[in-house]
């Protein structure tokens, strides 16, 4: 009887012993580790965006940001990065120009990417318009043009992600995104199909990239376990409270949490109605209570730069 019980116990442990590793574990962290990238989008979009991003990295808990290369305030952030090369800075690949009065055009130029251009000569204002008009070749051409400008300005590129998620709108767009990232050895935004927040907030996009996850990993690039994009919809007065609640509920694995931190200048409300929401992001990322909770929970903050280095020592996926 005793032998029978021991056998049952051993069999019950088999699934746990052979449980598939998450991507944090594949990158060398422990199974119990909660690992987080606190990321700021839309850097270079405006002076206000630059001020907010700098504040959250220098005085807050933000660990990474991404720059919108077609936008007017990129030279300011390029100058900052020359003096602060340690900042984890990627490219927020930009294929839309969503605001009514403050707009930008594709860096590849209208003759080369006509499907990316609207009647004003600017990028389309929303993702469905891009998906309806732009070919994969045009998408790839604009990705390469934005990388080229970053190289010309001497900007670091620790990773590539997608403004408004345009590169997740069509499978053939994502294929070009992954192709360029693997070719150049630059990590791209890609996450497991098992992520709780990713599935809840961006399930359609994750379905499109599912066949690519193994290819991306075996192409030498890291992959996230989860992605949280919901902070944009939080009410400004609730941002810090909801951020704290999110940090408390995070499960083990590698998660990126997106923000749009800004310090609005006088003209910023003329650009976007999200001015106060973005100010609230900045306040949440610099709140002492947030830093205290991260320390108390033992949350490990990381960067895309670290992910790339850890991936070099990781095993391929079978």
pTM for this entry: 0.92
CA angle 150, 73, 111 (to 5 degrees): 60
The answer to whether position 17 is within a domain reads no
Q: Look up the domain containing 297 and give its range.
A: 22-312
The pLDDT, as a whole number, for residue 298 is 98
User: Is 303:222 a contact under the CB 8 Å cutoff?
Assistant: no
The answer to whether position 6 is within a domain reads no
Which residue(s) pair with 257 in the sheet? Answer: 38, 228
The answer to whether position 13 is within a domain reads no
| Displacement of CA 99 from its chain's centroid (Å) | 21
The pLDDT, as a whole number, for residue 182 is 98
The pLDDT, as a whole number, for residue 106 is 98
The answer to whether position 59 is within a domain reads yes
The pLDDT, as a whole number, for residue 18 is 55
Listed in sequence order, the residues at least 6 apart from 298 whose beta carbon sits closer than 8 Å to its beta carbon are 34
The pLDDT, as a whole number, for residue 289 is 98
Mutual angle of helices 47-58 and 275-285, in 10-degree steps: 10
CATH code at 224? 3.20.20.370
Question: What backbone torsions phi and psi does residue 48 show, to the nearest 5 degrees?
Answer: -60, -40
The answer to whether position 211 is within a domain reads yes
Domain count, the chain: 1
The answer to whether position 10 is within a domain reads no
| Displacement of CA 86 from its chain's centroid (Å) | 18
The pLDDT, as a whole number, for residue 12 is 45
pLDDT along the chain (318 residues), means of 10: 44 53 98 98 98 98 98 98 97 98 98 98 98 98 98 97 96 96 98 85 72 94 97 97 98 98 97 97 98 98 98 95
> How far apart are alpha carbons 43 and 53 in whole angstroms?
7
The answer to whether position 148 is within a domain reads yes
The answer to whether position 16 is within a domain reads no
The pLDDT, as a whole number, for residue 20 is 86
Q: Do you know the residue count of the chain?
A: 318
CA distances from 283 to 238, 246, 286, 302 (A): 11, 16, 5, 20
């Amino acid at each position: 009887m005793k032998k029978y019980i021991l056998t049952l116990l051993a069999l019950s442990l088999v699934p746990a012993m052979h449980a598939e590793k998450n991507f944090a574990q594949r990158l060398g962290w422990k199974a119990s580790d909660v690992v987080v990238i606190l990321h700021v989008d839309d850097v270079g979009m405006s002076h206000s965006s630059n001020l907010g991003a700098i504040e959250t990295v220098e005085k807050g808990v933000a660990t990474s940001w991404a720059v919108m290369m077609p936008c007017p305030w990129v030279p300011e952030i390029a100058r900052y990065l020359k003096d602060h090369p340690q900042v984890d800075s990627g490219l927020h690949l930009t294929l839309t120009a969503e605001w009514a009065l403050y707009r930008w055009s594709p860096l590849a130029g209208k003759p080369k990417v006509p499907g990316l251009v609207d009647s004003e000569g600017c990028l389309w204002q929303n993702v469905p318009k891009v998906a309806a008009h732009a070919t994969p070749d045009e998408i790839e051409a604009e990705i390469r043009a934005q990388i080229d400008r970053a190289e010309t300005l001497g900007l670091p590129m620790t990773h590539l992600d997608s403004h408004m998620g345009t590169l997740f709108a069509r499978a053939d767009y994502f294929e070009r995104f992954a192709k360029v990232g693997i070719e150049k050895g630059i990590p791209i935004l890609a996450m497991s199909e098992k992520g709780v927040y990713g599935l809840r907030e961006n399930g359609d996009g994750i379905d499109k990239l599912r066949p690519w996850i193994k290819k991306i990993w075996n192409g030498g690039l890291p992959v996230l376990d989860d992605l949280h994009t919901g902070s944009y919809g939080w009410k400004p007065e609730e941002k810090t409270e909801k951020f704290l609640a999110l940090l408390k509920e995070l499960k083990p694995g590698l998660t990126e949490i997106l923000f749009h931190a800004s310090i609005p200048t006088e003209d910023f409300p003329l650009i976007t109605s999200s001015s106060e929401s973005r100010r609230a992001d900045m306040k949440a990322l610099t709140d002492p209570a947030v830093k205290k909770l991260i320390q108390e929970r033992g949350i490990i903050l990381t960067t895309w730069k670290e992910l790339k280095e850890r991936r070099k020592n990781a095993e391929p996926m079978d």
